[in-house]
Amino acid sequence: SDGGKLLVVPMVGSHWLSMQEVVEKLSQRGHEVVVLVPEVTWNIETTQAYKVVTYPVRQTLEELDNAF
């Protein structure tokens, strides 16, 4: 396909580890990818393959850990 724009919004506890590889491949194929993540999160690593935009949340990492 021709390059397009893609917004990815992984939720806490989502399948990000599986999605990350797909997102990176789409970026390599010319898609402009933006990943929107909360400031407090687990396992959502950044890379130069896509742009990461964070948004503020009220929850602390400790509260997140306790919730799960």
Residue with the bigger pLDDT between 12 and 5: it is 5
Contact 7, 37 (CB under 8 A): no
Q: What domain range includes position 31?
A: 3-66
The pTM of this model reads 0.74
At 13, the pLDDT band (50, 70, 90 cuts) reads low
On the question of pLDDT at 1 being above 60, the answer is no
CB atoms near residue 47 (< 10 Å):
11
> The tokens of 62 are what?
């400790």
Question: What is the C-alpha to C-alpha distance for residues 41 and 31, in angstroms, rounded to an integer?
Answer: 25
Residue written as token pair 């990818």: 33
Question: How many domains is the chain built from?
Answer: 1
On the question of pLDDT at 12 being above 70, the answer is no
Q: Give pLDDT tens digits for 16-65.
A: 878 888 999 999 988 999 998 888 776 677 778 899 998 888 888 788 77
